[in-house]
Structure 1
Amino acid sequence: MSLRQRIEDKLTAAFSPERLAVIDESHLHAGHQPDMTGTGETHMRVKIVAAAFSGMNRLARHRSVTELLRPELDAGLHALAIEPAAPGEAVLW
C-alpha cells in the first residue's frame, strides 16, 4: 500500500471527512537535498474538510492531523502540508 493511501485511510477513519485530497508533491522537491530525487513519497499535501475541526483553531487542527500521522513522519515523510477546514468554511479547492 502506498504512503498516500495509508494517509488517506488514517484521515478517513479518524475524521470522517466531507472532502479529502492527499496529494504527493514529491516531484516538486527533486534536488532540494542530495537524496531527494522526486520519485519517492517524501512530500505530501493534505486538504481536508471535516466536522471534527468545527470549533478548533488552526493550530489545533494542524496538531490533530500531525499527531495522527506521526508514524509516517517518523518513518521518513519529509514534509506534510495541511489545509484543514470545517464544513461551511471557505476553501480554495
Structure 2
Amino acid sequence: MDATSYSLVAVLTDEWSNSEDPQHVVDKEKTAETLEKYISMSKEEILAKLNQKDLNQVEFSEEGKNLSYDTKRGLKKKIYQVLFLKKRLQDYTPMGYLLHI
C-alpha cells in the first residue's frame, strides 16, 4: 500500500510573485503563529527560519517533513503562501508477501 506525505516549504523571495496575488511569505509573524499550531516548532524557531538572509525559500527541518494530507489541507486554508512538496511513501509490510502464499 502506498501513502503520500508532504514537506513544507516557505517562499521568501517576491521575484516569483505578482503584486495582486503574492506567492511568497508576506507576513512572517502571522505565518509563524499559524505554522506553530501544525508543526513541532516554536514561533521563534519558525521566525528564525523565515528571517534568514539571501535565501529564496526555506524548509523546516524534520518538523516540516512527512506531513499528512490533513495537516497540509489545514495549513492551506490558513495560509496559502507556503508550498508543499509531495512524496510518495511505499509500505512494504510482511502481509503483502503473505498474500501470495
TM-score of the alignment, normalized to the shorter chain, above 0.5:
no
TM-score by length of 2: 0.29
TM-score by length of 1: 0.30
**Could you say which structure has the larger radius of gyration?**
2
Q: Give the structure, 1 or 2, with the largest relative contact order (CA under 8 Å, sep 6 or more).
A: 2
Q: Greater helix share, 1 or 2?
A: 1
